[in-house]
Amino acid sequence: MDYYLENIQESTDHKCNQKIAFTCPFCGSTGRTDAKKKHRKAALLWNQTQNSWVFYCAKKNSNDCFNSKTLSNFMDALNPVLAEAYRRERYLMGYTGKGYNCRAPEGIVGVSTEKL
């Protein structure tokens, strides 16, 4: 993910959940100055309820970052091939489909690939 994200900083939030802050890949380039373009307004936040990462952008200056996204959908917006490999890996571990926030990979027979 380092290839797609700039200005990465790992930390924890006030509830001791992991947080990875970075410049939003969708709207970070819309800053008025170079300094504002580097602000860490986006983050991957650990969601203990879903037991997974969720993408969130505080600026919301793009259609791609207006709403929060699951890690799978975030990766799909950045690189669909990488996202499909991620979904395939989760499928092999049994963490996709109904009851999970990650759809099954394409081409799996008998499994719904509906987006969540």
Q: What's the domain count of the chain?
A: 1
Task: Give the Cα separation of 45 and 28 in Å (integer).
Answer: 18
In a domain, 109, yes or no: no
Is 13 a residue whose pLDDT tops 60? yes
In a domain, 98, yes or no: no
The predicted model gives 50-75 an average pLDDT of 89
In a domain, 79, yes or no: no
Whether 61 and 30 have beta carbons less than 8 Å apart is answered as yes
Domain membership of residue 44 as a residue range: 6-71
In a domain, 53, yes or no: yes
In a domain, 58, yes or no: yes
pTM here is 0.78
In a domain, 22, yes or no: yes
In a domain, 91, yes or no: no
In a domain, 46, yes or no: yes
Q: What is the pLDDT of residue 77?
A: 92
69-106 pLDDT, tens digit per residue, is 999 999 999 999 999 999 999 999 988 888 888 888 88
Percent above pLDDT 90 for the chain: 37
